[in-house]
Amino acid sequence: KQEVTQIPAALSVPEGENLVLNCSFTDSAIYNLQWFRQDPGKGLTSLLLIQSSQREQTSGRLNASLDKSSGRSTLYIAASQPGDSATYLCAVGDQAGTALIFGKGTTLSVSS
Partner 1 sequence: NAGVMQNPRHLVRRRGQEARLRCSPMKGHSHVYWYRQLPEEGLKFMVYLQKENIIDESGMPKERFSAEFPKEGPSILRIQQVVRGDSAAYFCASSPPGPGYEQYFGPGTRLTVT
103 binds partner 1 (CB under 8 A): yes
Q: Is 82 helix (H, G, I), strand (E, B) or coil?
A: helix
By CB under 8 A, which span of 7-15, 18-26, 77-85, 96-104 interacts with partner 1?
Answer: 96-104
Report the C-alpha gap between 81 and 72 in whole angstroms.
25
H-only helix segments in the chain: none
By CB under 8 A, which span of 18-26, 37-45, 58-66, 72-80 interacts with partner 1?
Answer: 37-45
Report the C-alpha gap between 8 and 88 in whole angstroms.
11
44 binds partner 1 (CB under 8 A): yes
Q: Which residues bind partner 1 (CB under 8 A)?
A: 4, 31-32, 34, 36, 41-46, 49, 51, 89, 91, 93, 96-105
